């Protein structure tokens, strides 16, 4: 799988180390950490990051915004600004550099993850780089449905932030778990729960079934009703190794198939 490389530009050592730890646990590769604009420019040129986390108020003769302007002269890498200040003048200067986004410290981890993934997605989509699964995962971060990718052994290998809200589980906890064991899916009365053929197939326990309308159990034990859509992810040479699943919660009382 193609690496997702992050460059950190932050002159507060404790903050930089914290970011590095958080991002490493999220699965990103840290290609460098700079405390001045000149260091950031050199690292951006040499390490080719996929995204830069740029503190605006850094040490040295140029600030983060001026640093981004210089990086933009030789690279179109997306930049996410991090700052404790959100005054109008600073925001106006940041907007002119066409940065991806602007996050105010202390940064929410889920918000940070979503912004990084979406920044990389937009950049790779423009360049048409990355594998089919990587591009799909990046897209899933930006949608409103709960999105999962599972391998052919039903193990969850990716889940987006919306899936955490829907299920009550953290993404790190879901990864590696059997999707069907975790979700405990059952056909909804609004779907094909009364379909005689489906019920006969399910009765012999020969398949793991993804009903188009289903109920499932959240971490707290609450049952929710969702629309389920699924497909095979096309890899190199048209091989299929993983399945993607989309789930959207509905009000069963107001749903009509």
For the stretch 91-106, pLDDT in tens is: 788 888 878 888 888 8
- Per-residue pLDDT of 51-68, as tens digits, reads 999 999 999 999 999 999
Rounded to the nearest integer, the mean pLDDT of the chain is 84
| Mean pLDDT within 132-145 | 75
Whether residue 139 sits in one domain with residue 231: yes
Structure tokens at 104: 């105010």
Same domain membership, residue 164 and residue 122: no
Query: Within a 13 Å sphere around the CA of 148, how many CA atoms are in the beta-carbon half?
Result: 33
Side-chain-facing half-sphere of 56: CA atoms under 13 Å = 23
Residues 121 and 157 in one domain: no
- The pair phi, psi for residue 22, each rounded to 5°, is -60, -45
In what helix (H) or strand (E) does residue 229 lie, and over which residues does it extend?
Answer: strand 223-234
- The per-residue pLDDT for 238 is 60
Q: Residue 88: which CATH number? A: 3.40.50.2300
Q: Higher pLDDT residue, 49 or 196?
A: 49
For residue 167, name the pLDDT band (cuts at 50, 70, 90).
very high
Domain closes at, from 77, 111, 127: 127
Specify whether 169 is located in the same domain as 210.
Answer: yes
pLDDT at 93: 83
Confidence of residue 239 (pLDDT cuts 50, 70, 90): low
The predicted structure's pLDDT at residue 189? 57
Question: End of a domain among 66, 100, 127?
Answer: 127
pLDDT at 89: 80
Q: Are both 170 and 247 inside the same structural domain? A: yes
Of 69, 104, 127, which residue sits at a domain end? 127
Q: Which whole number is the average pLDDT over 119-128?
A: 73
- With a cut of 80, say whether residue 23 has pLDDT above it: yes
Q: What pLDDT score does 62 carry? A: 95
pLDDT at 219: 92
Total domains in the chain come to 2
Range of the domain at 47: 5-127
Structure tokens given for 33: 């950490």
> Are 64 and 116 contained in the same domain?
yes
pLDDT above 70 for 116: yes
Residues 39 and 138 in one domain: no
When pLDDT is cut at 50, 70 and 90, the band that residue 27 belongs to is confident
Same domain, yes or no: 146 and 111: no
Find all residues with CB under 8 Å of 239, minimum gap 6, and list them.
Answer: none
Share of the chain above pLDDT 70, in %: 83
């Amino acid at each position: 799988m193609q690496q997702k490389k992050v460059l950190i530009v932050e002159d507060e050592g404790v903050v930089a180390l914290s970011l590095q730890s958080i991002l490493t646990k999220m699965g990103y590769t840290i290609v460098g950490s700079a405390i001045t604009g000149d260091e950031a420019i050199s690292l951006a040129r040499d390490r080719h990051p996929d995204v830069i986390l740029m503190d605006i108020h850094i040490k040295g003769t140029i600030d983060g915004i001026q640093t981004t302007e210089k990086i933009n002269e030789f690279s179109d890498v997306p930049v996410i600004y991090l700052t404790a200040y959100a005054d109008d003048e600073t925001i106006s200067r940041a907007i002119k550099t066409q940065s991806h986004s602007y996050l105010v410290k202390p940064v929410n981890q889920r918000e940070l993850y979503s912004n990084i993934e979406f920044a990389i997605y937009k950049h790779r989509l423009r360049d048409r780089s990355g594998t089919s699964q990587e591009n799909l995962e990046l897209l899933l971060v930006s949608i409103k449905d709960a999105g999962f990718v599972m391998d052919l052994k039903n193990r969850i290998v990716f889940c987006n932030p919306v899936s955490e809200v829907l299920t009550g589980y953290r993404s790190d906890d879901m990864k590696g778990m059997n999707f069907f064991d975790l979700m405990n899916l059952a056909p909804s009365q609004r779907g094909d729960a009364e379909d005689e053929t489906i019920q006969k197939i399910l009765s012999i326990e020969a398949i793991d079934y993804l009903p188009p309308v289903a109920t499932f159990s959240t971490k707290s034990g609450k049952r929710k009703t969702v629309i389920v859509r699924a497909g095979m992810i096309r890899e190199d040479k048209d091989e299929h190794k993983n399945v993607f699943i989309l789930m959207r919660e509905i009000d069963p009382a107001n749903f009509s198939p």
